[in-house]
């Protein structure tokens, strides 16, 4: 990672991460959804630098509901590292799938805020349609007053191992 040194660790979160998670999510105008231990976090030397929330959305299907990097650490490869890990083994970082997984083929979906679509494309995602997303994500932006400025783009990655 550019300009960053230290021991990097990607794992599911725990109670101990609650305050840091709240801080990162607040930067994205989000509150903690579900349990604080449902998130996948990237830490460098123990400091929480990025977080995401992956839910099981069907058989072999995972939906990345939240994804963000600490504001001052963006553009240094941290988001890319966390996303690559998630793509390789989503079941490992999805609380609902714990204990299962190691699928031969699987699908990851997300809704990128328009500006971030290029980031996901770099990692193999392609544009998808809202209608093809699992509920409740297929209608999540329907009544949002920020839709025009946010330009949400549903995206999918289909993976074979
Ligand atoms: C989008 C985000 C997760 C990317 O993480 P990051 O650590 O900044 O990204 P990385 O440094 O790993 O990779 C950035 C690469 O993606 C590309 N990219 C394309 N669109 C981008 C965008 N909107 N933001 C950041 N990078 C983007 C960059 O050009 C860069 O390419 P390079 O490595 O060839 O220079 C992070 O910037 C972030 O949290 N942004 C605000 C919240 C957000 O938009 N989250 C996504 C939710 S849909």
Per-residue pLDDT tens for 61-120? 999 999 999 999 999 999 999 999 999 999 999 999 976 777 889 999 999 998 899 999
Query: What span, in angstroms and rounded, lies between the C-alpha atoms of 148 and 52?
Result: 24
1 in a domain, yes or no?
A: no
- CA atoms in the 13 A half-sphere facing the CB of 106: 23
The reply to whether ligand 1 has any atom less than 6 angstroms from the CB of 112 is yes
What pLDDT does 28 receive? 83
pLDDT of residue 29: 82
Does a structural domain hold residue 94?
yes
Q: Is 54 in the pocket of ligand 1 (CB under 6 A)?
A: no
Cα of 44 from ligand 1 centre, angstroms: 18
Give the Cα-Cα-Cα angle 159, 67, 98 (nearest 5 degrees): 60
Number of structural domains in the chain: 1
User: Given this model, what pLDDT does residue 102 score?
Assistant: 76
117 CA distance to ligand 1 middle (Å): 9
H/E segment holding residue 116: none
114 assigned to some structural domain: yes
**What is the spatial distance between Cα 105 and Cα 58, in angstroms, rounded to a whole number?**
13
Instruction: Confirm if 57 and 87 have CB atoms less than 8 A apart.
Output: no
CA 5 to chain centre: 23
For the segment 17-37, what is each residue's pLDDT rounded down to a tens digit? Answer: 999 999 999 998 888 888 999
Task: Decide if 39 is inside a domain.
Answer: yes
Q: Is residue 3 part of a domain?
A: no
Instruction: Domain of residue 143: give its range.
Output: 8-160
pLDDT average, residue stretch 129-135: 94
* C-beta of residue 157 within 8 angstroms of C-beta of residue 125: yes
Residue 139 pLDDT greater than 70, yes or no: yes
Is 127 inside any structural domain? yes
Q: What is the CATH number of the domain that holds 115?
A: 3.40.630.30
In a domain, 64, yes or no: yes
- Whole-number Å distance, alpha carbon 120 to ligand 1 midpoint, is 8
Q: How much distance in Å is there from the Cα of 82 to the middle of ligand 1?
A: 11
User: 2 lies in a domain?
Assistant: no
């Amino acid at each position: 990672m550019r300009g960053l040194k230290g021991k990097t660790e990607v794992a599911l979160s725990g109670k101990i991460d609650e305050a840091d998670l709240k801080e990162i999510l607040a930067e994205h105008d989000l509150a903690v959804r579900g349990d604080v231990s449902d998130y996948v976090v990237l830490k460098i030397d123990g400091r929480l630098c990025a977080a995401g929330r992956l839910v099981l959305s069907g058989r072999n299907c995972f939906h990345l509901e939240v994804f963000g990097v600490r504001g001052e650490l963006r553009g240094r490869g941290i988001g890319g590292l966390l996303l690559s890990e998630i793509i390789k083994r989503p079941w490992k970082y999805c609380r609902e799938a714990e204990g299962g997984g190691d699928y031969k083929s699987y699908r990851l979906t997300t809704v990128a805020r328009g500006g971030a679509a290029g980031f996901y494309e770099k990692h193999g995602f392609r544009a998808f349609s809202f209608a093809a997303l699992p509920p409740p994500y297929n209608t999540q932006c329907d009544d949002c007053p920020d839709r025009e400025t946010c330009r949400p783009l549903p995206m999918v990655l289909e993976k074979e191992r």
